[in-house]
Structure 1
Amino acid sequence: MPAVARNRSVPNIVVSEADCDRLTDLATASLERLPEVAEELLSEMERAKVVGEDSVPADVVRMGSTVTFSSDAGTDGEQHELTETLVYPADEDSDAHKLSVMTPVGAALIGLAVGQSISWTARDGRKHRLTVRKVS
């Protein structure tokens, strides 16, 4: 079962050509080590609208974006608001709020625009839903 499960109606996502190329390479290289997240990231890149660097709207989550999103806490349904910078695995740092794109929530965020929501499943099997509130 993929680490990031989607509902039937997934939002449209947009990624730059450069992000798509790098993320596809990263996911392909991670297939043996992190198969669920790697497969989900590859799936996201396949369905994304790929555009030139200058054509990615400012309100879309891309690599290096700082994104504020609300997410339910899973079983209790309580909403939490988080602000994280989406980074490559080598730059991940939870103390500095740097979230790797090779985590289930990181893979779920890439390409989303402000106001869009998506469901995802954490590595422990709990289902969550997040909504992007702000991108900078």
Structure 2
Amino acid sequence: MNLMPQAASRPPIHMIDAEAETLTDLALSVERRMPAVSALLLREAERARLHSAARMPADVITMGSMVEFFDDSSGSTRTVTLVYPSEADIAKGQLSILTPVGAALIGLRAGQSILWPDRCLTVRTVQRPPA
């Protein structure tokens, strides 16, 4: 019996409208230095369903969210806070949005899994920052 949620290569995602705009600008600014991550993040921002911050569902990963997820490539559960590059410090659990895992997590909901690009990530819990 398979206890893992079914992973979709690109499950439905949600973003705060202002964050989507900021993330698009960020992805474009690093397109030459980080083309793969830039392309992944741009694709996610383009396909996301947009909401105002006040109407964003509580279980969706936004910038500043603390996220517990399972990574099948390592077989481990990790807890990170999704942050902008200037705040990133993996030793403190602060994961940059400009990493493949960071770009994969944005917009997912608790319980969703995503195949990204060489692993399956399953979101277990989401704690959003205070408004």
Task: Please list, as runs of the form range in 1=range in 2, the aligned pairs for 1:114-133 lying within 5 A after superposition.
Answer: 114-121=110-117, 127-133=118-124
Residue of structure 2 equivalent to 1:17:
17
**TM-score, with structure 1 as normaliser:** 0.85
1:10 CA displacement:
1.7
Residue of structure 1 equivalent to 2:3:
none
SS of residue in 2 equivalent to 1:132: strand
Residue of structure 2 equivalent to 1:124:
none
Alignment deviations for residues 80-109 of structure 1 (CA, whole Å, 9 cap, x no partner): 100000000111101100000000000000
Residue of structure 1 equivalent to 2:58:
58
1:16 CA displacement:
0.3
Question: Which 5+ residue runs of structure 1 have no aligned equivalent?
Answer: 1-6, 122-126
Which one of 77, 84, 91 corresponds to residue 81 of structure 1?
Answer: 77
Q: How many Å separate the matches in 1 of 2:8 and 2:63?
A: 25
Q: Is the 8 A contact 2:63 2:83 kept in 1?
A: yes
Question: Which 5+ residue runs of structure 2 have no aligned equivalent?
Answer: 1-6
One-letter amino acid matched to 1:49: R
Residue of structure 2 equivalent to 1:104:
100
Alpha-carbon RMSD across the aligned residues, in angstroms, is 1.3
Q: How many Å separate the matches in 2 of 1:106 and 1:9?
A: 16
SS of residue in 2 equivalent to 1:15: strand
Residue of structure 2 equivalent to 1:135:
126
Alignment deviations for residues 7-26 of structure 1 (CA, whole Å, 9 cap, x no partner): 87521000001110110000
**TM-score, with structure 2 as normaliser:** 0.88
Q: Which runs of 4+ in 1 moved over 6 A?
A: none
Aligned residues, how many?
A: 121
One-letter amino acid matched to 1:131: T
Q: How many Å separate the matches in 2 of 1:64 and 1:21?
A: 16
**Identity of counterpart residues, as a percentage?**
47
